[in-house]
Every structure is written in C-alpha cells, then in structure tokens.
A and B are shown apart, each in its own frame.
Chain A
Amino acid sequence: MIDFDPSSFGLAHTYQKEDKDEINTLALPSAPQVIYKSLNGPTQINGGNKLNNFKHGTTTLGFVFKEGILLAVDSRASMGSFLSSEQVRKVIEINEYLLGTMAGGAADCQYWLAYLANHCRTYELKNGSKLSVAAASKFLQGILIGYRNSGLSMGCMIAGTDTTGQHLYYIDNDGMRLKGDIFSVGSGSTYAYGVLDNHYKYEMSLNEAVELGIRAIYHATHRDTASGGVVRVYHIHQNGWTKVHDGIDVVDLHYQFAQQKGLVGDGDEAKQRLF
C-alpha cells in the first residue's frame, strides 16, 4: 500500500510492516462476534429448545447433469400442524451466477445467504473477478462453524457456475460442506432420493432432468405432510441460471401422473370393497 503525503514531494514510501502482522499460525476463521447466544443451549432433537424449535418441513433437491445443475424445491412452510404458507420461495437468488436452497430455519437461510451475496459482490469489486462456487460455499461454511453451538438451523445447497464449470455443494448448520452430484435436503428428502436415485443419469437432457426434478418433488410432497404447495425449478448453466418453472401445483401433478398410468388419482388403487 503506497502512502502519499501531499504536502511534500518525494519518493513514495511503502507501508511499514509491523511485527504483529507476522503470521505464526493460520487459525480457524474467526466467527463474527456472537453477541446473543441462545438461552437454552443447543437445539435438541425433538424441539426441546423452544427458542430454536424450527421445523425442517421441506423438500429441496439438486443434481448435476451434463447440461449443468437442476434445482427443484417445494413451497410449503408449516408451524406444527398449521400451514403458514404454500408459496414460500425456497430457492434464494444470491446473484446472477449463484443460487442457494433453503431448508431448516427460513430466517437463518435468508439472512446468511444475503450476507454471502454481499461478500460475493464485495469480492468481485475488490478483485475484478467473480468468486468461485467453491470459495463462496467455503465462506459460508466458515461462518456456520463459528456459530456451531448457537442453534442455527440450515441445510442448504449452494449451486452455481464459475470458470471451472457448474458445481453443487451441500452445507449444513454443523459446518459440514460436501461437494456432490445429487443432494436432497429436508423432511421429504428420503422420498425424493428414492425417485432420484432410480432415474438419475448424468447424460440426461434438460427436459428429462426437469421432468425428474418435478417428479421427485411431487413424490416427496405426496408422502411427506410437511412438504407441498408448488414445485419451483431452476437450471444452472454456464451463462448463469434460469427459472424453468415458477410454480406448478403438486395437486395438479398428482392427477396428471395418475392419468398417465391410466388411474384416476383418488387413492383407491387397491379397490377396497367396504362389504
């Protein structure tokens, strides 16, 4: 850093290195100061901690295929047995080349993904090039490690495109970051995995991938009470992301898929006779 003293002309002198700048060891990234820690300790499994009793009712999924990455999510938010919304946006548009999915606490996901968006933009301005997906997801992981025992609840996927291609990362509130090809997060994820694992092929075309994403979310919403609403589908490719479907009602999908099999969709496939 060059320091100019405008009152005198002379050779510019470089910034004096102070002893305290010398790096002795590299430490774990320091978390932003945690001023308020949750009063009742870390979240317990069955919602023992009332302050952080978030419901993880959701199904989100993402997978990598030859044309990029497909993200598909449901849109239901439930508070216990009360449906608070059927139109939640669970894919968060971080910037034109990065998307994040939301599972767990909505506030946590929205806030920290917005924080990440801020960081990405600052980096881009300071360094003249975009932050890679690996670096962006690592930054988020560093934050979540710092807040590990504070009761954050997030199970998000970061998906995006950079100069090395399209990448998908799974990050959760324990500070785990995994790179992978197929992820599904939320209470309905097990049902979605069943459909995904069965039909997934890397060589799928975009239409096949969109169909698979929609079907997997539909099946999860059918069996999981905490997932439902509409299906939203995003596609990430080398030029950024596109919103493929903004909201397809899963109830309509139910009857459509039933019809394709020659069924009516009233749930009476076993043809139960009452007498």
Chain B
Amino acid sequence: MDSIFGLQGGDFVIVACDGSIAHSILKIKETEDKILKLDDHKIFGISGEGADRNSFGELVHKNHSLIRYKTGAYMNLKETAHFVRSMYAQAIRSRDGPHQCNGLLGGVDSDGTPSLYWLDYLGSLQKITRGAQGYANYFLLGLLDNQYKPNLTKEEGIEIIKKCIKELQTRFLIAQNKFIVKIVTKQGIEAFTL
C-alpha cells in the first residue's frame, strides 16, 4: 500500500513517499522514511512490506558502500541502477525468492545530470522522467504526464509533487496524511515533510 512517486527535472530529481506503516487495520507509524539515502547525491525510495523494504534497503546501502571502499571510486547513477537491478535479478530464483519490494532510484551525477530509474522486484529497470510505484501509479501517472515538461525548475517540481499529494489524499481510499519528500540537486539532498 505504499505510495512512492518521483519526477526528474532540469537539474534535480524528487522522490516522495507516504509515511505510513500499516498492520491489519492499524496504522502503526505515520512518519516512516521510506527513501534511503545511498550517498550525498543518490536516493532510493522503496515500496514493499516492512521487513523486505528494510532488509533490501540495507543490503543495497551496505553493498553500495562496500564497492566504494573496495574500488575507491563512487558509482554514478547509471552504474548504481544497474547494480541494484543485478541484486534484484540474482534473487529471483534463489531459495528465499525475489526481494518483495519495488523502488525508484534517483540522483544527480557529479556533472549535474539528473536521472530517475524505475526498478521492480523481478529486476526490471527503466530510466524514466516521471513515475510511481504501487497504487500511486493509478492516481498519479495521468497527472504527472499532464504536468511534466522538459527542464522543470525545482519550484515547479515541488508544485507538481504537492498536486500529486493532494490527488492521493482526495481519491485514494487509504488515508495517507504525511508524505516525506526528498530532492537531490548538485548541492546535495534536501528533505522535508508535506
């Protein structure tokens, strides 16, 4: 039931997530941050049931750091996206089965180019400019397609995200009150709740 959605602009990437964790009829937590910070210029929003989201997120984060320590170099966005995809793919026919979570990986490379990648639990990978995971797809893709234009500014991007949140709160059956939004620009990552 998680909503993860994101947008790529001219020089930034935004990924937003809802903050709620539910267990049968209860909302146990409303302020859970489902967007992982891989390093100062990469974020990975993960949607899935609690344990898978948590454990796969940790796996990606630690292996990403391990590669940096071993090779001495930071991976760029494309390399990271392919790396995460290979982690998903390796698990598909493993003993424990696929990692039951989907993700949106976004960030800005050192030369300032932003990119956003859509990843799913079977190892699909697609570079996109706007997208969502989960039920949010049904409500937001139309709106994102309608509002998107090339080379968006950061302020325009935030306005679109606000419209997306309003749409989810209006039409989605499940009440999602708090959203956590993270924006990556060349200067770094900004996070805030809406």
Contact = CB atoms under 8 A, between A and B. Distances in A.
Contact of A190 (B21, B25, B32, B54): B25
Interface stretch (A85-93, A123-131, A177-185, A248-256): A177-185
Contacts of B49: 174, 176
A190 B24 CA distance: 11
A26 B29 CA distance: 29
B59 interface: yes
B29 A178 contact: yes
Contacts of B29: 178, 180
Given A145-B55, A180-B28, A175 B50 contact: yes
A169 to B, nearest CB: 11
Residues of B in contact with A, size category = 10 to 19
A174 B48 CA distance: 13
B51 A175 contact: yes
A20 B37 CA distance: 31
**Which residue among B21, B26, B32, B55 has the maximum number of chain A CB atoms within 10 Å of its CB?**
B55
B26 A193 contact: yes
A241 interface: no
Interface string A232-251: 00000000000000000000
B149 interface: no
Contacts, number: 48
Contacts of A190: 25-26
Contact of B51 (A23, A148, A183): A148
Given A28-B55, A28-B59, A145-B55, A176 B50 contact: yes
A177 B54 contact: yes
A25 interface: yes
Contacts of B26: 189-190, 193
Interface in B40-55: 49-52, 54-55
B181 to A, nearest CB: 20
Contacts of A148: 51
B32 A178 contact: yes
Contacts of B52: 175
A170 interface: yes
A25 B62 CA distance: 9
Contacts of B59: 26-28
Interface in B1-56: 21, 23, 25-26, 28-29, 31-32, 49-52, 54-55
B66 interface: yes
Contact of B28 (A25, A26, A28, A178): A178
A189 B50 CA distance: 19
Contacts of A172: 23, 50
Interface string B44-84: 00000111101100010011001000000000000000000
A177 B53 CA distance: 10
A26 B66 contact: yes
A232 B116 CA distance: 51
Contacts of B51: 141, 144-145, 148, 174-177
A23 B29 CA distance: 36
Nearest to A183: B28
A195 to B, nearest CB: 15
A174 B101 CA distance: 14
Interface of A: 23, 25-28, 141, 144-145, 148, 170, 172, 174-178, 180, 183, 189-190, 193
14 contacts: A25-B66, A26-B59, A26-B62, A27-B59, A28-B55, A141-B51, A145-B55, A148-B51, A174-B50, A176-B50, A176-B51, A176-B54, A180-B29, A190-B25
Given A174-B50, A178-B50, 18 more contacts: A23-B66, A26-B59, A26-B62, A26-B66, A141-B51, A145-B51, A148-B51, A175-B50, A175-B52, A175-B55, A176-B50, A177-B50, A178-B29, A180-B28, A180-B31, A183-B28, A190-B26, A193-B26
List the 9 closest A-B pairs by CB distance, nearest first: A175-B51, A176-B50, A26-B62, A174-B51, A176-B51, A180-B29, A178-B29, A25-B63, A26-B63
